Structure 1
């Protein structure tokens, strides 16, 4: 009988474990995958640390992971990203960039200043449709979905809370998160929850490695997993599953292309493939001076990988780069690593985005069930959703709630 079992070893689960490390509670973290980190995953390719999941410390000046990185002696790169700077204006003239960004910024301002009555972000798109495809591409990167599937209130809450500071960890954000579980924390990898059952004063967790008993449980699974039937949930938490339905995961994927030694690409540059295609990719070139291109696909672009696989994603990325830089660049590009979060078991997508009318469901999802179940994960944050620091804070919050519940239930 554990005092607290944490379900999920991503940023939220690790955040909860870090908070509980100094307590007297007997705690166990279980993770279905053979690794820690969840949607934070750094892979090493020829000695290069590549983040298949989150890679930038957003709102870095208040991001708890920045402090953790400093404590662990991991170097933080505070240079601003090259986002929004089309290298040499290739395929996207300076005037077009100005007009497109103006249309995007005006739309974001209308969401905040004149929010639509139906809470549907698409309802206040510009009357002039010239840059609709560009805005749709941007929401694909930001939210993983198209504007018609975005709550205006949700989008604005994140936008107004973000500080605009974005930093990097050279060793990898995923490596930072996965390596931050306290050494003394009990955990079991490859232990998938199959059924969760409630009993008076306790919870039974049936897993692929046997049955575990707990006085309280912190649930950090994604909303895609919460609504899926892979895990048998008790009927009592149907309201939480209903809330999760309103906060689905968008689609976001990354592909990495290795560059040949003599490849004609400049360090720390960025290209948008095609501003008139909502499925376009964004290409970050030679990050940290490394011989790779990080290809980011969101929304419509990431849906291509979900439908047709990673090879189709690579073909799409290489075709866009060839159009901008000339067909000769194909000989310099080699696919080396890619994500497939939408089709990854026990994850099911990129990060959460509330549907129109669904922003308030984040608070409902974050509410505890009696004194037994406590919910965490980026989707439970009302302002820092879709981020690893939002997940971390939610894990800390759920751990505090579980500790308080246990203290109330124990005799004086």
Structure 2
């Protein structure tokens, strides 16, 4: 391990890999560290008997402008640009067409209030119709989109994302996580299962304490999640308290995935989708047989993901199977088997899904992205002002932080 690199990168997710890709072109010495035993962070393609499954990010959101689309094609990864089944309820099961139209109108009205700033506050829940019958549905959507309930979502923050996002949601059949973890440039050796336990800035160098020894870097790029930065996993100097406070205003929401294997004959059609219960804010949403594979992906957000984290995977799988049985008939229980599930809430080096700004604190993203002393730089999806909660926002923030570090070192000569 190089104990005195020019630049140390803490975190080997999309942001850390983005920074490494930019720095790999400079001739500077770079060391990258991650507490996990693998690359990718919240991008994780898990290999199973039915094929690769993304336990973290799985969609190239805004694929037409997403830099990972270009990287995928340059690296030989296929990008599927086909239409997806999201937003359609298979055979209108449990969600009659008339109710779907009503629910969509409720979401459109809420979105219009948010977009046109017809609110006295910055709290997304204040855009709800207090007498509307679709609050539970909108809270479920908020869980999928932001990882939390509308009471804890900043309108300004939500609108910033919504304004720039496109409808191009594409996929990498072999896995988005596989693409990201394969994109670390040659020549930069990752130090995995190597958590940074403490960071000090009171020397001429940034000193990182790891289980493998001390690392004294000229500069460092910190890409850890906001929950880690605001917490106690890494001992940080008091001079960084403003950054920790900004991170606390950008908490990770709760998002988890469960995958069920389909065995034998079943009524599940390839590339179809159902929402479990539109009147339950904790409901799962189910993508059925992606690319024709014998699997169902259950996505949980907000309250639903918190229930899964609290009750455990066995209960979460049973609840998902129960929702599917209520829609497709009890016989489907015989052809569904728990396969694999995420547990981001209990992963110490992450601590949740993706960031959202608390009401009144959208500007914390800018505060979190500020360099410290022109020696310590911050990246990660939470530091992006519009593409937060995405792997491409993380990647772009890594590029930005790398440029800042390059300029700092150039001026330090």
Q: Which moved more, 1:118-127 or 1:8-17?
A: 118-127
CA distance in 1, matches of 2:366, 2:84: 32
The 5-angstrom pairing of residues 8-407 of structure 1 reads 8-407=11-410
Give, in whole Å, the separation in 1 of the partners of 2:403 and 2:387: 19
Cα deviations across residues 193-221 of structure 1 (Å, max 9, x unaligned)? 00001134311100111110001000000
Report the Cα offset of residue 372 of structure 1. 1.1
CA deviation profile, 1:150-173 (whole Å, cap 9, x unmatched): 000000000111011100000000
Deviations 1:58-89 (A, max 9, x none): 00000000001001111111012211100000
Counterpart Cα distance in 2 of 1:378 and 1:80: 26
Secondary structure of the equivalent of 2:64?
Answer: helix
Residues 253-262 or 271-280, more deviating? 253-262
Q: For 1:312 and 1:373, locate their aligned partners in 2 and report how far apart those are by CA, in whole Å.
A: 43
Paired positions, count: 410
C-alpha deviation, 1:17, in angstroms: 0.3
The answer as to whether partners of 1:18 and 1:182 remain within 8 angstroms in 2 is yes
Q: Unaligned stretches of 5+ in structure 1? A: none
**Residue deviations 1:284-333 (CA, integer Å, cap 9, x gap):** 00000000000001011101122111111111111100100111000000
For 1:374 and 1:103, the matched residues in 2 are separated by 42
Contact persistence 1:115–1:153 (CA under 8 A): no
Deviations 1:29-51 (A, max 9, x none): 01111000000000111150100
Counterpart CA distance in 1 for 2:34 and 2:72 is 23
Q: Is the CA contact 2:9–2:221 (under 8 Å) kept in the aligned structure 1?
A: yes
CA–CA distance in 2 between the matches of 1:329 and 1:50? 22
Query: Per the alignment, in what secondary structure is the counterpart of residue 153 of structure 1?
Result: helix
Q: Give the root-mean-square deviation of aligned CA atoms.
A: 0.8
CA contact (8 A) 1:201 1:372 kept: no
Q: Deviation above 6 Å: which 4+ runs of structure 1?
A: none
CA distance in structure 1 between the partners assigned to 2:232 and 2:119 by the alignment? 34
Looking at structure 2, the residues matched to 370 and 114 of structure 1 have their Cα atoms a distance apart, in angstroms, of 37
Q: Structure 1 length normalisation: TM-score? A: 0.98
Distance 1:114 1:344 in 2: 37
Decide which of 1, 5, 8 is 2:8's aligned counterpart.
Answer: 5
Partner Cα distance (1:181, 1:404) in 2: 22
Change over 3 Å in CA distance of 1:335–1:131 after alignment to 2: same
| Distance in 2 (alpha carbons) for counterparts of 1:345 and 1:78 | 35
Structure 2: gaps spanning 5 or more residues: none
CA contact (8 A) 1:363 1:382 kept: yes
C-alpha deviation, 1:348, in angstroms: 0.1
Does the 8 A contact of 2:267 with 2:328 survive in 1? no
Distance in 2 between residues matched to 1:139 and 1:302, nearest whole Å: 12
Offset, 1:358: 1.0
Give 1:109 shift.
Answer: 1.1
What secondary structure does 1:58 align onto?
A: coil
Cα deviation 1:236-271 (Å, max 9, x = unaligned): 110000000100000000000000132221000000
Q: Distance in 2 between matches of 1:229 and 1:127?
A: 39
| SS of equivalent to 1:363 | helix
